Every structure is written in structure tokens, then in C-alpha cells.
Amino acid sequence: MTFIPNSEKTIKQMLQSINKAGFDDLFDFIPSDLKFKDELNIGNPLSEFEIVEHIKIMNAKNISSDKIIFTGKGIYDHFVPAVVDFLSSRSEFYTAYTPYQPEVSQGTLQCLYEYQTMICELSKMDISNASIYDGASSLFEACIMANSYNKKNTILLSDTIYDNYIDVVKTLESNLNLNIKILSSKNGQTDLSNIKSLDDISSIVIQSPNKYGILESWQKTSDRIGDTNTVLIAISNPIALNQIKAPGDTGADIFIADGQCLGNYMNYGGPTLGIMSAKSKFLRKIPGRVIGRTVDKTGKEGFVLTLQTREQHIRRENATSNICTNQNLLAIRALIYMAALGKNGLKKINTLCINKTQYLIEKIDNLNNYSVPFKKNIINEFIVETPFDVDKMILDAVKDNLFLQKSKYDNKNYLHIAVTEKRTKTDLDKLISFLSKYDG
């Protein structure tokens, strides 16, 4: 414990005060057969220069996102403007914890308030929180919100939402005794005809664009729910919301998304940013931090953590929100990204994604041994059917600096391709060339 700046005398006094003879006695509650008794083979200390060189060698083994990325499924290779890195790296943002003390946290609080405002504008919802961990945990929390709201016990998940989201929500079955049922799909979209009764249905979860890249209708699901108290949870790509009808305008009660695409890097799948917004009736059910605007006793406007009685640091045993921390930094990055681009900028990015995706769909669909089963109502990703070994194709593509994915559809492997504004025509044509020369 040489990193603790205490003298031998101080250490001895501290140990004596708790009736311990040495540091090993601090861990005497651990059975001896579980303790590691050999010498740690960690080598000699390194100088700063040696450490830097060692890390460079390790880092060179990583697969870099400087390659041509065609992967998606919620994590996308979008361009991050320099202003996002520059502003978010300010120390007051970069090292700040949850802003419990408003008198010293006005900058962070205002940023998070503006973030909430922008999310509400995008989703056309009444309220937003200041972030959750990622998209999957946002859906997990949304399902709990719905159960708390209507006391029903069955959650209907469309099988067209991301597989990892389904896996996370399924943990509710054992932990909260909720029933998870999967809604089957037809032609790549949710088949609502399978919903026979809503009597015990707490929530229905629909994603648009879905895991195949196809737009779905929240409005049709809302119409099916009617005036029952079943909750409609909508999942979407935040950038796509600029050019599709927003969840709040199509009958959805809760909106969740992963905010990685808003100014955050892929980071090998995380950390990302969980987005959540909802109708006002869920104000006291929504988890996480909620930032409010208020006026102090001198009449000055300020920002605070509001409705804190929901949270565990106020009423641990009765808390409806048990999120200990959140993704403040990534939420602030999303705010800077959205503010820098504005509505027109986000719309332009989405348009570029759509146009480049359609170019690729047309080219691939004209190749021998390839077909795109779903060409319409696509934003920026799609699946490709081929008789070739998809797993082998993905590995071979890496040799050409192309990174691809696969999706399961009808119990068969398909190529899964996502396109962002970063992909140039040269990139797209390189993928076409790889597919056209591939012989399995």
C-alpha cells in the first residue's frame, strides 16, 4: 500500500487503534485456502517512457475504427465534430460527479437541462431524464416504469428489436416476477395480429427502425392498445427522428434510445448513453436524475436536481429510482453534438445516410448471389441474403479493412450492413467490389 501517503508511525497507530498487528490481519476474515500465497509475477517497475511504449505496442493490436466500418445494430461509426471533444474535455465536465450541490454545479446542471429539452423536442415527449447507462438498460427501466404504472405483469417484446435488448429485459422474469413474451414478426415487421388480449399486458415494445433497418408503425400499435392502460414503449435511432414521425406524435408513452450516435464514439460497444423520455404521467416514475429550472430567494434563475424524493440517496427503501450514477459526460457530449449541428445538420446527416444506403442496396441487389429482402422504408441499415458462408465472409472482409456484421432472419445467417455519413463513394464501391469477387 505504498501509494497511501502515511508514515510507518502513523500506520502503526492506525492498526493499533483497531487492534490489528499488521495489514494481513485486515483480511483475516477471508479463508486461508482462498488467499493467493505465491509471488505476483508482475515484473519490475517501468519508467514513464517504458510504460508509454508498452501501451503503444498493446494498442497496435486493437482493431481501429479508422477502418471502413459497415457495422450497426445500435452502435454506429458517425463523424464526431472536433467541438464535441474540445468542450466536453473541460475539467468541470470531465471529472464532475452527479451535481448534488446546485450552488457549485450550475454549468453542468444547465447543460443537462438543455440536453433534456433537446431530447423532448426530438421525441415530442413531455419529460426526459438526464441519462441512463445505455439503450438496453433504458428499455429495462422503461418496462419497470410501465409495471409500476399499471400493475400488470406481462411485457410484449417485438422480435424485431435488438437481441441484446431482449436479453437484458428477460432478466426481469427472475428478478421481478414479470412475464416476458415475444411478438413474432412477418416480412421483417411486428405482427400485431398475434395480440389477442391486453388484459394483463403491461407494455408493448416496438422498435423503428428495427433490427433489420425497417421502419415500423408506432401508430398502429397505439391504435391496437386503444384506451386501455397498456404502455407503448418506442425505440428508435435519435438521428432518424428528424425525418420520421416522432414517438410522442404517434401514441407512444415512453421513448428510449441509445445515444452513442450523438457525438459519442463506438468505444468497442461502450460506454454509451441511455436516452429516455416520456409523457408527463410518468413524471414520478421515471428513473435517474431529472434537472429542473427554478428561481432562488433573490429571484435569480437556477437549475437543480428536482423530484429527488424518488431517489435512493433520499429514501433508499422507498426509492423508485435506483440509478446510483449516470452518463452525464456522454449526455453533455450529445448536447454539444446536437447544438453544433442543429435541426438542419441532423437532418442532413440522416439524408446522407438514407441516400448512401439506397445506393448500396441497389448495387448489391444487382450482384449475382446476393439479394436484399427489404428495400423499402429503410434508413441506414439492411440485411443481405447470400448462399456464401457469412461468418467466413466477415473474417475475409477484415483483410480488406472492411468490417461487417451478420443478422439472423428465418433461422439463417444474413449479412448486416449499416451506412453512415462517413462512408464515401469509394468506401461503398470497395464493399461492392469485395462482394462481387467473393467466391466463398
pLDDT of residue 183: 96
Biggest distance spanned by C-alpha atoms of the chain? 80
pLDDT in the model for residue 220: 96
* Residue 188, CB-side half-sphere exposure with 13 Å CA sphere: 22
Written as tens digits, the pLDDT of the chain (440 aa) is: 456 678 889 989 999 999 999 888 999 899 989 988 888 888 888 899 999 999 999 988 876 656 899 999 999 999 999 999 999 999 888 876 778 788 888 999 999 999 999 999 999 999 999 999 999 999 999 999 999 999 999 999 999 999 999 999 999 888 888 999 999 999 999 999 989 889 999 999 999 999 999 999 999 999 999 999 999 999 999 999 988 999 999 999 999 999 999 999 998 888 999 999 999 999 989 988 899 999 989 999 999 989 887 777 777 777 766 676 668 999 999 999 999 999 999 999 999 999 999 999 999 999 999 999 999 999 999 999 999 999 999 999 999 999 999 999 988 999 999 999 999 999 999 999 999 987 55
User: How far, in Å, are 134, 310, 327 from residue 287 at the CA level?
Assistant: 13, 8, 13
The predicted structure's pLDDT at residue 380: 96
**Collapsed DSSP state (helix, strand, coil) of residue 165:** helix
Distance of alpha carbon 11 from alpha carbon 8, whole angstroms: 5
Give the containing element (helix H, strand E) for 324. none
Beta strands in 170-308 (DSSP E): 179-183, 185-186, 189-190, 201-207, 231-235, 254-258, 274-278, 291-295, 301-305
Q: Tell me how crowded residue 367 is: count the other CB atoms within 10 A of its CB.
A: 15
Is domain 68-77+342-437 in CATH 1.10.10.10, yes or no?
no
Q: How far is CA 196 from CA 68, 178, 182, 191, 200, in A?
A: 45, 19, 13, 12, 11
CATH topology identical between 68-77+342-437 and 82-336: no
Contact 333, 264 (CB under 8 A): yes
pLDDT of residue 440: 52
Question: What pLDDT score was predicted for residue 323?
Answer: 72
Cell numbers that stand for 114 in this block: 438543455
CATH of domain 82-336: 3.40.640.10
Q: What pLDDT was estimated at residue 117?
A: 98
C-alpha cell at 91: 475539467
pLDDT of residue 1: 46
Closest CA relative to residue 203, chosen from 134, 136, 157: 157
Instruction: Round to whole Å and give the CA distance between 340 and 334.
Output: 10
Name the helix (H) or strand (E) containing 191: none
| pLDDT for the residue 96 | 65
Least Cα distance to 143 among 166, 118, 112, 119 occurs for: 166
Q: Three cell numbers at 48?
A: 514513464
**Cα distances (Å, whole numbers) of residue 390 to 20, 395, 405:** 61, 9, 9
- Taking the domains of the chain in order of start, what are their residue ranges? 68-77+342-437, 82-336
